[in-house]
Structure 1
Amino acid sequence: MKQLTKAEEDIMQVLWDLGEANVASINEKFPEPKPAYNTVSTIVRILESKEFVGYRKEGRGHIYYPLVPKSDYSNQSLNKLVDSYFQGSFKSMVSFFMKKNDISIKEMEAILKEINKKK
């Protein structure tokens, strides 16, 4: 799976939230100052060429929808982060975030409970 730029990820986040949308609806979801309509349109076409977005014709326009589930992209991105910065060790990553974010023992116990529920 290809890696996305920040701008591409921002548009994908909107599409994942909406499910499907035209360019104007995507642009509407951005905070002020909003990107130019043409910029959003260009990025959507790039996402289409990367096979992250599909479309169907509706009237004179297109309705775009995600082809890649958010969970698949998130998993791939997290694995890349772990591999690139923590030598593939989730333990090292968790340890890093505990130290840098001052996670309390109670918060860590809650995280462990969630992990154990998933097993």
Structure 2
Amino acid sequence: MPKKEGSKRAERPELSRLELDIMDVVWELGECSSAEVIDAYTAKRPLAPTTIRSVLANLRKKGYLEPVPTIERGFRLRPLVNRESVAQRTLKGLIRTLFGGSPRQAIAYLLKEEAIDERDLEEIRRMLDNRRKGARP
């Protein structure tokens, strides 16, 4: 039985950069075959199909994908977690590791080091104002 995303049992190992890249393809495709993942991934960047299949097998073992049997021979792959939950967990880990757990330091770094256009700054101001008022962005 698949693990629930919100439960403690759903703690999955962190994803490598390549695993995240492959999951991005799976999230874009939705339920898909390994051949579809290989075609979509290699259309953007070269990587051996055997490597992609190995990564997909690792993602299954780690609990990020599940096989779905098909009428024809084989199976399709279904993501067990959504992009947002992985992004949230990854970002929290980065903030904890690189900025001592301080969101303020992470935001200060981004404001100092990244080019942010006026429209994005205005959106950030709006989110901060809403947060001060008790609303979520």
- Cα deviation, residue 104, structure 1: 5.6
Cα distance in 2 for partners of 1:25, 1:105 equals 39
Q: Give the structure-1-normalised TM-score.
A: 0.87
- Cα deviation, residue 109, structure 1: 3.0
Count of residues in correspondence between the two structures? 119
What secondary structure sits across from 1:96 in the alignment? helix
Q: 1:17 to 1:33 in 2, by over 3 A?
A: closer
2:55 counterpart (40, 43, 50) = 43
Gapped regions of structure 1 (runs ≥ 5): none
Gapped regions of structure 2 (runs ≥ 5): 1-11
Identify the residue that residue 108 of structure 1 maps to in structure 2: 121
Q: 1:50 to 1:96 in 2, by over 3 A?
A: same
Q: Give the structure-2-normalised TM-score.
A: 0.77
Higher relative contact order structure (alpha carbons within 8 Å, sequence separation ≥ 6): 1
Q: What pairs with 1:88-99 in structure 2 (closer than 5 Å)?
A: 88-99=101-112
Q: 1:107 to 1:44 in 2, by over 3 A?
A: closer
Dislocated runs of 4+, deviation >6 Å: none
Is 1:10 matched up with 2:10? no
Identify the residue that residue 60 of structure 1 maps to in structure 2: 73
Cα distance in 2 for partners of 1:23, 1:104 equals 39
Cα distance in 1 for partners of 2:106, 2:66 equals 34
Cα distance in 2 for partners of 1:72, 1:32 equals 25
| Identical residues among aligned pairs (%) | 25
- Cα deviation, residue 32, structure 1: 5.2
Identify the residue that residue 28 of structure 1 maps to in structure 2: 39
- Cα deviation, residue 53, structure 1: 0.4
